[in-house]
Amino acid sequence: MKLDLILRVMTKFILPYILVFALYVQFHGDFGPGGGFQAGVIAACMIILYGLIFGLPAAQAIVPQGLVEFLIPLGVLIYAGTGVVGMLLGGNYLEYTYLAHEPSHGHHLGILFVELGVLITVASTMVAFFFAFAGRKRT
Amino acid sequence: MIAGMEGLLTHYTYIVTIFLMVSGLFVVIARGNMVKKLVGLGCFQTSVYLLYIGPAKILGGTAPILAPEYSVYSNPLPHVLILTAIVVGVATLALGLALTVRINEAYGTIEEDEIFARDMVEHANSEESAS
Amino acid sequence: MVITLINGVLLTLMAVVTIGIVRVRNLFAVVILGSIYSFLMASIFMVMDAVDVAMTEASVGAGISTVLMLAALYLTKTEEAPPVHSVALPLFVALVTGAALIYGTLDLPPFGTADTVMHTHLGAKFLADSIPDTTVPNVVTSILADYRGFDTLGETTVIFTAGIGVLMIFKGRSKRRPETESNKSDAA
């Protein structure tokens, strides 16, 4: 099992850059290509790569199964909650006009929150898929 | 309407799209293996993405990220529809694969015909024991 | 013209890969061909100026899908059984469907034309309104999260539901059946 030394070292080297790229794609998604869906998948790829190289227990030590199962509904709740906040502030459901003083800034803020919800749900769902398949015993 | 060779060139995207779609359909109907069926379903699904993205392109245009230097952009609406469809596609693919793994655990095979054959045998056995 | 040429070459490659997917019986090879297929598709999206879609297809189709498929292959089998039924009927269905669809594309506008209905109405409106309404220059993001926010909420819920579904399929134990071998391994 010494043959995968290069893989192990390079994986450790590359992981932080994948995470930074995911965050870049997420928060630069308003100005360049990207958004919650892409960033979520890239962030999940980081955990999946770590799990593939170092084994499932190591990956689950970083992201426990309970945390993943907590984050899947949390993202949907953030998304739906943004809509409810817009409603409480006097608009329609998912209308971001009243989130800030300036309507266009309110829309920008609403987009950021909504994309955050998408990121959390997509990333945790993909990680949950990987954990579910990788944790299964061969029959 | 298209005319001959020129029409083939301008409609080449659509023709390949239809070919991918039909191949996916053929795999889904003709092959009995469940993983193969899911790959075929993926082909079908991806060809629909191409069907949406193809007409959105404008020759000489650029990606729909607004900048003062450009004035012609491709249509952003199909991009949005397909963007979400791709991620939903992988979610449903994972669901299908999970079902396949469970079927393999229950039946010991992922070939459609063998599953049907086993069901028939079990059905006959249960009727025998009931009567 | 260059765009049309690159596009044509990539589309031809995709058609070739698809023929491979249909014909090859080793499922491992099929999954890797599927990954190549997705990556070619991402390149085509890139050529067609759909950068967001290309990014998603490259990370989802060529990345996550392949990992999940390989995991499923590890848990099942990697060789497809030889076909027992005749392929005549499926081939007939596929060819008839294909002919009908090709007939339908004859009325579609040629590739890359600007003066079609989809470009002059809704698309133009979104491109014009995005900056005044939301200050977001990436129109795809502003449509995704703002103009069509309700749609995206639905999509997110679908992903959530699929995630819950996979967890239920793998972890849930049916109450009606007696304890079987596979249920015991679930509990462990």
Residues in chain B, overall count:
131
Distance from CA of C61 to the nearest CA of A (A): 10
Least confident residue range of A118-122, B92-96, C102-106? C102-106
Give A-chain residues touching B94 at CB under 8 angstroms: 129, 133
Fold of C1-81: Four Helix Bundle (Hemerythrin (Met), subunit A) (1.20.120)
- Residue C174 binned pLDDT confidence (cut-offs 50, 70, 90): low
109-168 in chain C: CB under 8 A from chain B: 109-114, 116, 118-119, 122-123, 126-127, 130-131, 137-140, 143-144, 148, 151-152, 155, 158-159, 162-163, 165-166
- Residue C112 binned pLDDT confidence (cut-offs 50, 70, 90): confident
Q: Does C50 touch chain B (CB under 8 A)?
A: yes
Q: Is the pLDDT assigned to residue C186 strictly greater than 50?
A: no
Q: Which residues, in sequence order, are bridge partners of residue C79?
A: C26
Exposed / middle / buried, residue C187 (Cβ in 10 Å: 0-12, 13-18, 19+): exposed
Q: What is the pLDDT of residue A31?
A: 87
Give B-chain residues touching C54 at CB under 8 angstroms: none
Closest chain C residue to B62 measured between Cα atoms? C49
pLDDT above 90 coverage of chain A, percent: 59
Query: What residue ranges do the domains of chain B occupy?
Result: 4-130
Query: What residue ranges do the domains of chain C occupy?
Result: 1-81, 114-174
Q: Is the pLDDT assigned to residue C187 strictly greater than 50?
A: no
Q: What is the pLDDT of residue B45?
A: 92
| Record: contact C75-A44, CB cut-off 8 A | no
Are A108 and C136 within 8 A, CB to CB? yes
Residue A122: count of CB within 10 angstroms of its CB = 30
Residue-wise pLDDT for B40-89, tens only, equals 999 999 999 999 998 888 888 889 989 888 888 999 999 999 998 999 89
How far is residue C5's CA from residue C1's CA, in Å, rounded to a whole number? 6
Interface residues of A toward B, Cβ cutoff 8 Å, are: 31-33, 35, 37, 40-41, 122, 125-126, 129, 132-133, 136, 139
Residue C169: count of CB within 10 angstroms of its CB = 16
Q: What is the pLDDT of residue A122?
A: 94
Q: Does C186 touch chain B (CB under 8 A)?
A: no
Distance from CA of B130 to the nearest CA of A (A): 31
Query: What residue ranges do the domains of chain A occupy?
Result: 2-134
| Record: contact A129-B84, CB cut-off 8 A | no
Q: Which CATH architecture has domain B4-130?
A: Orthogonal Bundle (1.10)
Low-confidence ranges of chain A (pLDDT < 70): 1-3
43-82 in chain B: CB under 8 A from chain A: 63, 65
Residue-wise pLDDT for A51-74, tens only, equals 999 989 999 999 999 999 999 999
